[in-house]
């Protein structure tokens, strides 16, 4: 959500009154587009910003609920994404399920250094090169059959 936010830009907003941001005067009724992708990769905000290191959040009070402006994958304020809780529950549930059910490896002897993490830009930022993985079951076979039967 920090390095690869699904939406790189927030929905355009309009300032209700004149204000100053980072030394710039923003007049009233100005359309603003917040580039959360750039903010989350700015080394003024993050140490070693391009390094994927989930541990950086351990012991930190930074969360994605719109209170910390260096990390806004769901926006902030009155127009913050109303699907935040559903989205996070769904992502964590799906990720937890596939990790619990399967071991995953890269095909053809690839290593993690061979992964191309570049993105194709647009309204959302999908991976430019689709991720290909080989799953293998890590649970007893009957567990998969049981969870599929009605």
Tell me if 62 contacts ligand HEM by CB under 6 A: no
Would you count residue 74 as binding ligand HEM (CB under 6 A)? yes
Nearest residue (CB) to ligand HEM, 83 versus 137: 83
Q: Is 37 in the site for ligand HEM (CB under 6 A)?
A: no
Which one of the spans 24-32, 74-82, 98-106, 109-117 is the region binding ligand HEM (CB under 6 A)?
A: 74-82
Indicate the SS3 state at residue 80. coil
Choose one: 3-11, 40-48, 49-57, 101-109; the region binding ligand HEM (CB under 6 A): 3-11
Distances (CA, A) of 19 to 14, 29, 121: 12, 11, 30
Between the two ends of the chain, the Cα-to-Cα distance in Å is 35
Question: What token pair was written down for 18?
Answer: 């004149």
**Is residue 49 at the binding interface for ligand HEM, with CB under 6 A as the rule?**
no
Q: Is 33 in the site for ligand HEM (CB under 6 A)?
A: no
89-108: contacts with ligand HEM (CB under 6 A): 91
Question: Binding to ligand HEM by residue 10, rule CB under 6 A?
Answer: yes
User: Where does this chain touch ligand HEM (CB under 6 A) — which range of 79-87, 112-120, 128-136, 139-147?
Assistant: 79-87
CA distances from 147 to 74, 75, 118, 140 (A): 33, 37, 36, 12
Phi-psi group of 126: left, alpha or beta (phi > 0 → left; psi -120 to 50 → alpha; rest → beta): beta
| Residues near 1 by beta carbon (within 8 Å), at least 6 away in sequence | 64, 71, 73
| Contacts with ligand HEM, residue ranges (CB under 6 A) | 6-7, 10-11, 73-76, 79-83, 86-87, 91
């Amino acid at each position: 959500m920090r390095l690869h936010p699904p939406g790189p830009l927030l929905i355009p907003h309009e300032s209700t009154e004149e204000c100053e941001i980072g030394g710039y005067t923003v007049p009233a009724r100005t359309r603003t587009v917040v580039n959360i992708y750039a903010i989350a990769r700015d080394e003024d905000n993050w140490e070693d910003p391009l390094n994927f290191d989930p541990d950086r959040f351990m012991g930190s009070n930074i969360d994605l609920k719109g209170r910390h402006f260096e990390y806004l994958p769901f926006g902030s304020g009155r127009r913050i994404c109303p699907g935040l809780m559903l989205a996070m529950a769904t992502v964590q549930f799906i990720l937890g399920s596939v990790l619990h059910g399967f071991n995953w490896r890269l095909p053809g002897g690839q290593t993690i250094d061979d992964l191309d993490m570049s993105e194709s830009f647009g309204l959302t930022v999908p991976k430019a090169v689709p991720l290909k993985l080989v799953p293998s079951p890590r649970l007893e076979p009957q567990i998969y059959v049981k969870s599929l039967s009605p």
